[in-house]
Structure 1
């Protein structure tokens, strides 16, 4: 694999860098840096989305015929890498990267015409209704029920009853893409359908779930006689499991974790030049600290090589395959290791756990020692979820064992 950029690739990288230097608002960058959660709040994320939408780059992973850039896989990776290195916030992945490909792949023309522009404009803010109490890793066991009802006045529609849990940003969302059981008699994978749910209606209630760090990122969503028109079913009834597999494979394919991990390591190394080691020196001179940082950086660089290999396969029209489980496993463990490095770097100051939110802006609580030290403990606690969400470490290890090692 040739990892050198071609002249056109290098020119594109330089264009992205120049755009970020000129157009990434400092308040957005600072807010992203002071957010301990995976998903930044809409008052940061949607601002950045709007900047990219005006540029025509928000749908950077989308085909041109659906309002995207139509960029090749390597350009998408370059864009994500440069955004990470510039400190830009993560984009609203639930709409842009998860449900949008489902709509243009499995949705009908009316759904594509209605929903895709609204995702780009920010009119619709999406959350994902997959997991349920008792149905996490075994997602096919979900019980949220959707009963097809024929009504001469309202039209054909589903009536939903049940609940979803760990629903990220449901408290901000007006739409939820949702897996529901439409045929309780069929085998469990065959009885599931994929619906687009309007959350702004009677029967929807959202209960916050606070993390151990005090962040409100996830929720439990209760659905009581919630109405979904048949026109908002994506694909055929009973096709939901196949669509969900496509969505999850699309989520993991072509990942770009390594640049952000390297960016965070750079920030820690910079801070270590002035942080005391408690013995009259600074942490940057501590050999044990330097060995840990070096191991983490080598791991991040190795991860980037795997990610580039996957991008190369995608560019050739091949499916990414089980390598995506390798990147998910490595990135999750490395994310936790880097956040542990931050806690250790700041010592006692890194143990502070401020419960007020947000930790950015004029009303942010005053930190003990520094803003970076204030973020260390909540980031460490939040990153415990990395080895759970998107498929647990155990699930990824099983996939690798079966698909790669043949065990």
Structure 2
């Protein structure tokens, strides 16, 4: 979708485009081109560049370090970073716990945590899902018992993304076992270096160490690290999930993904003609583009409402459903283009084992990316749960 921009907005776009071209870490570009697994320092290198510029948290209120940009400027920024294939900033501090802290936190919590989230000094992880509490998150069993000015936390979390790098985590814990499920939960900020915390890796199908199990054994957490009221953490959890689901839509990166598919399919041959000349493949690309354009309109309406002071409502569930499905379809089309070249590749193979992966680089990476996006319709609240939310809040069923 092409929007009409004012001269001021066109100038802003050029400013963003020039800044990225001149400041995006070159060593990061090299790693991305080779498909190497990115390290914590890789993610932080781009984070620090944006922080120094004052652009690391465009959606935050200005008083807490936001840019004060209009919705159109934020849209332009996301478009340009996707266009330049910039890595995505880790969302756990910037777009998840940060907004919870500046909305529900105490002045002391805001002063302590927000500046370090912006600077990248603190890397955050999310302690929500448990082995028996995924889509039914309110059934979580990790327990926090108050003893004086501390909680003692025991339990297990799973699928904790990037916990191996985390300095802090935000955790949902049960503080009142006899209350209604949602009424007995509290929202705690936990130092990941606390005694009693153990992080165990989960290696994905693509051979990546991205997610983890986290075990908490008598972990001592100061009461001052509880956000909002005791047993009212579900309010924070719902607020956070609504913001997370807007981000999961990933419209700008999906648009770049479609462009990339068109570029590849214009040169890769299907017999004697480019793959894009195949009417069946071309139809899949066109259908994807139409769905993505509709999703983009919905995202812009949502962002406009948020700029007017309205929090994301049930439309965030629509964004999550369609955005995650589109991301999966993108990787399916890429794997279809790769054909047999995509089949054997895994990041977990050593250099010698990978000698048989002789196709183009994009094809060799197609399978692990495809594997990884199978999770998009599950995390942030599974798409089945999102449909229930829409049925209840929109259709009144």
TM-score (norm 1): 0.91
> Counterparts in 2 of 1:54-69, with a 5 A limit?
54-69=52-67
Quote the residue 2:376 is aligned against: 386
Question: 1-side partners of 2:311 and 2:105: how far apart?
Answer: 21
Whether contact under 8 Å (1:32, 1:88) holds in the other structure is no
CA-to-partner distance for each residue in 1:135-169, whole Å, 9 max, x for gaps? 1111111111111112xxxxx21111111111000
Q: Are positions 1:173 and 2:159 aligned together? A: no
Quote the residue 2:284 is aligned against: 292
Residue 35 (structure 1) shift: 5.4
Question: 2-side partners of 1:265 and 1:35: how far apart?
Answer: 19
Whether contact under 8 Å (1:59, 1:120) holds in the other structure is yes
Residue 390 (structure 1) shift: 0.9
Question: Number of matched residues?
Answer: 395
Question: 2-side partners of 1:83 and 1:64: how far apart?
Answer: 21
Whether contact under 8 Å (2:246, 2:320) holds in the other structure is no
Quote the residue 2:136 is aligned against: 138
Would the alpha carbon gap of residues 4 and 313 (structure 1) be closer, same or farther in structure 2, given more than 3 Å must change? farther
Question: 2-side partners of 1:145 and 1:348: how far apart?
Answer: 48
Quote the residue 1:153 is aligned against: none
Whether contact under 8 Å (2:186, 2:230) holds in the other structure is yes
Quote the residue 1:400 is aligned against: 390
Question: 2-side partners of 1:388 and 1:90: how far apart?
Answer: 19
Quote the residue 2:294 is aligned against: 302
**Unaligned residue ranges in structure 2 (runs of 5+):** none
Between 1 and 2, higher relative CO (CA 8 Å, sep ≥ 6) is seen in 1
Name which of 194, 202, 206 aligns with 1:209.
Answer: 202
Quote the residue 2:254 is aligned against: 261
TM-score (norm 2): 0.93
Whether contact under 8 Å (1:214, 1:355) holds in the other structure is yes
Q: Are positions 1:77 and 2:70 aligned together? A: no
> Counterparts in 2 of 1:172-251, with a 5 A limit?
172-251=165-244
Question: 1-side partners of 2:277 and 2:247: how far apart?
Answer: 37
Quote the residue 2:23 is aligned against: 23
Q: Are positions 1:322 and 2:301 aligned together? A: no
**Unaligned residue ranges in structure 1 (runs of 5+):** 151-155
Question: 1-side partners of 2:293 and 2:83: how far apart?
Answer: 14
CA-to-partner distance for each residue in 1:279-319, whole Å, 9 max, x for gaps? 23331322222111111112212211111122222233334
Quote the residue 1:355 is aligned against: 347
Question: 2-side partners of 1:377 and 1:386: how far apart?
Answer: 15
Would the alpha carbon gap of residues 46 and 160 (structure 1) be closer, same or farther in structure 2, given more than 3 Å must change? same
Partner secondary structure for residue 186 of structure 1: coil
Name which of 132, 157, 162 aligns with 1:164.
Answer: 157
Whether contact under 8 Å (2:160, 2:214) holds in the other structure is yes
Partner secondary structure for residue 62 of structure 1: coil
Question: 1-side partners of 2:350 and 2:317: how far apart?
Answer: 33
Partner secondary structure for residue 190 of structure 1: helix
Question: Which is further off, 73-82 or 88-97?
Answer: 73-82
Question: 2-side partners of 1:109 and 1:205: how far apart?
Answer: 31
Partner secondary structure for residue 164 of structure 2: coil
Quote the residue 1:368 is aligned against: 358
Question: 2-side partners of 1:131 and 1:137: how far apart?
Answer: 8
Would the alpha carbon gap of residues 234 and 358 (structure 1) be closer, same or farther in structure 2, given more than 3 Å must change? farther
CA-to-partner distance for each residue in 1:194-217, whole Å, 9 max, x for gaps? 111111122111111111222211
Would the alpha carbon gap of residues 384 and 255 (structure 1) be closer, same or farther in structure 2, given more than 3 Å must change? closer
Would the alpha carbon gap of residues 260 and 223 (structure 1) be closer, same or farther in structure 2, given more than 3 Å must change? same
Partner secondary structure for residue 269 of structure 2: coil
Whether contact under 8 Å (2:168, 2:191) holds in the other structure is yes
Residue 101 (structure 1) shift: 0.8
Whether contact under 8 Å (2:249, 2:323) holds in the other structure is no
